[in-house]
């Protein structure tokens, strides 16, 4: 049988990123229903939701080891199938302990699949000798929005279990078809004896920048709408535009990011992107007009959208003998920032104000711009 071409692998992996986003987006409408079913308060339910994030972060270092031993193609295929199946767990869990266990299991599949997909994306980039990782992340963002809208519609028409079954069956079909066209497993097998993928000297700098980048994303996505509502006294539907337009800006930048990186290089791209994120966020926090703030959030989303994909690419290339280990280290630190950012903003806002607290994301973006030269490895094909 003829091995898949790099072009075929590119579109197959793009479909995998898309279905990953669809599953996560389809889970969102179930969150309030799960809270009602479990009959717990917001504080307890918030802690229970951390099981998903905890499972994701805990699985990432192990994913790096498995990629080194078996290759990213195999791990992407297996975790994609398991994600489609574990998707049912938190939706069906009747009690809080079962919800936590099921959420942790689904989170493990989310985290390990995330590392595997990005590692295989680096293998595809090397095979094509072209930047492609931003496009993959753009398809993930499109999938997330599609999953949220489609999931809400199916939930309203058919109910919880049918919606989950339709979504899972659709994504499983996509995954089974896509995995036939991944690059061969030997494309990125590395050091089979590698230990857990904690940051090494080669990747810790990129990992810390990724921590800041995903801290920015998580903080704005969680607190942007609340800031709009409190500062401008607008209704909830208008305030939600901050999230929608920020996410839209990120999607646009990711779908065009590969072409931009090819034209100007990773260092210049990350420098300008981080400065755009800083400027857009700062304007949104100080202007007196809610509509100007919305436009500024679009500008900030356009800036931050491409930073994390380029950092992932750099992490995978800093350790050429074990790209899975390198990218797992960067993603582990990055998603730790995604978890830590929103609570940090909340604590600072408690003693100052929310707009003042969100200026921490402006400072984080400026730090990324100052150290953008460290992403130079992302341009090595």
Q: For the domain that residue 75 is a member of, what is the CATH number?
A: 1.20.1250.20
- Region 221-231: mean pLDDT is 81
Residues above pLDDT 70, as percent of the chain: 92
Are 261 and 140 members of one domain?
no
pLDDT for position 237? 62
- Region 232-244: mean pLDDT is 74
CA distance to 8, 124, 259, per residue, from 101 (Å)? 37, 34, 42
CA distance to 22, 87, 154, 272, per residue, from 147 (Å)? 4, 13, 10, 31
Query: Between 247 and 253, whose confidence is greater?
Result: 253
Asked if 324 contacts 197 with a C-beta cutoff of 8 angstroms, the reply is: yes
Query: Between 3 and 198, whose confidence is greater?
Result: 3
User: The dihedral of CA 90, 93, 96, 100: what is its sign?
Assistant: negative
- Region 10-27: mean pLDDT is 93
Are 100 and 35 members of one domain?
yes
Look at residue 25 and tell me if it is in a domain.
yes
Among 135, 151, 184, the domain boundary falls at 184
Distance CA 98, CA 255 (A): 38
Are 170 and 222 members of one domain?
no
Block residue for tokens 């996560």: 24
Among 149, 184, 219, the domain boundary falls at 184
Are 104 and 224 members of one domain?
no
Are 158 and 237 members of one domain?
no
- Region 273-277: mean pLDDT is 97
Are 158 and 101 members of one domain?
yes
Burial 347-378 (b: 16+ CB within 10 A, else e): ebbeeeebeebbbbbbebbbebbebbebbebb
- Of the pLDDT bands very low, low, confident and very high (cuts 50, 70, 90), residue 381 is low
Residue 192 has pLDDT above 50, yes or no: no
pLDDT for position 198? 53
- Region 191-198: mean pLDDT is 49
Block residue for tokens 């990350």: 270
Residues above pLDDT 90, as percent of the chain: 46
Look at residue 346 and tell me if it is in a domain.
yes
Asked if 216 contacts 345 with a C-beta cutoff of 8 angstroms, the reply is: no
Distance CA 321, CA 202 (A): 12
Are 166 and 221 members of one domain?
no
For the chain, what's the residue count? 381
Are 235 and 145 members of one domain?
no
- Region 51-79: mean pLDDT is 88
Distance CA 370, CA 274 (A): 9
DSSP letter for 185, please: G
pLDDT for position 20? 95
Look at residue 1 and tell me if it is in a domain.
no
Task: Give the residue among 91, 83, 102, 67 at the shortest CA–CA distance from 17.
Answer: 83
Task: Give the residue among 179, 178, 172 at the shortest CA–CA distance from 86.
Answer: 172
Task: Show contacts of 29-35: CB within 8 Å, 24+ apart.
Answer: 29/148, 29/151, 29/152, 29/155, 29/163, 30/90, 30/91, 30/151, 30/155, 30/160, 30/164, 33/160, 34/90, 34/91, 34/93, 34/99
Count up the domains in the chain and report the number.
2
Look at residue 63 and tell me if it is in a domain.
yes
Average pLDDT, the chain: 87
DSSP 316-366: HHHSTT-HHHHHHHHHHHHHHHHHHHHHHHHHHHHHS-HHHHHHHHHHHHH
| Least confident among 108-117, 239-248, 316-325 | 316-325
Residue 220's domain spans which residues?
Answer: 204-379
pLDDT for position 272? 97
Residue 130 has pLDDT above 60, yes or no: yes
Asked if 300 contacts 246 with a C-beta cutoff of 8 angstroms, the reply is: yes
- Of the pLDDT bands very low, low, confident and very high (cuts 50, 70, 90), residue 378 is confident
Are 219 and 161 members of one domain?
no
């Amino acid at each position: 049988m003829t091995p898949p071409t790099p072009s075929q692998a590119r579109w197959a992996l793009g479909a995998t990123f898309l279905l990953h986003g669809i599953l996560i987006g389809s889970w969102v409408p179930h969150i309030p229903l799960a809270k009602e079913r479990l009959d717990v308060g917001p504080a307890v339910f918030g802690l229970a939701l951390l099981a998903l994030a905890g499972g994701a972060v805990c699985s990432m270092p192990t994913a790096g080891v498995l990629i080194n031993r078996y290759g990213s193609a195999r791990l992407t295929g297996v975790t994609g199938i398991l994600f489609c199946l574990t998707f049912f767990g938190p939706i069906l869990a009747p009690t809080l302990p079962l919800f936590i266990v099921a959420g942790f299991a689904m989170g493990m599949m989310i985290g390990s699949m995330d590392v595997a997909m990005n590692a295989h994306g680096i293998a595809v980039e090397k095979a094509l000798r072209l930047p492609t990782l931003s496009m993959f992340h753009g398809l993930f963002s499109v999938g997330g929005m599609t999953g949220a809208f489609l999931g809400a519609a199916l939930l309203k028409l058919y109910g919880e279990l049918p919606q989950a079954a339709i979504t899972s069956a659709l994504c499983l079909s996509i995954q089974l078809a896509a995995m036939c066209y991944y690059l061969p497993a030997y494309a990125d097998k590395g050091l089979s004896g590698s230990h857990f993928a904690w940051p090494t000297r080669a990747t810790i700098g990129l990992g810390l920048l990724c921590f800041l980048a995903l801290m920015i994303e998580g903080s704005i996505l969680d607190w942007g709408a609340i800031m709009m509502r409190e500062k401008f006294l607008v209704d909830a539907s208008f305030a939600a535009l901050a999230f929608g337009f920020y996410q839209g800006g990120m999607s646009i930048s990711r779908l065009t990011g590969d072409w931009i990186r090819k034209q100007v290089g990773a260092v210049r791209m990350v420098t300008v992107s981080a400065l755009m994120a800083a400027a857009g966020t700062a304007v949104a926090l100080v202007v007196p007009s809610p509509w100007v703030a919305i436009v500024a959030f679009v500008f900030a989303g356009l800036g931050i959208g491409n930073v994390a994909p380029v950092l992932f690419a750099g992490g995978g290339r800093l350790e050429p003998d074990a790209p899975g280990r390198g990218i797992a280290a960067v993603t582990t630190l990055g998603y730790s920032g995604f978890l830590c950012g929103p609570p940090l903003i909340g604590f600072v806002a408690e003693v100052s104000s929310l707009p003042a607290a969100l200026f921490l994301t402006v400072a984080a973006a400026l730090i990324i711009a100052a150290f953008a030269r460290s992403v130079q490895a992302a341009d090595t094909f």
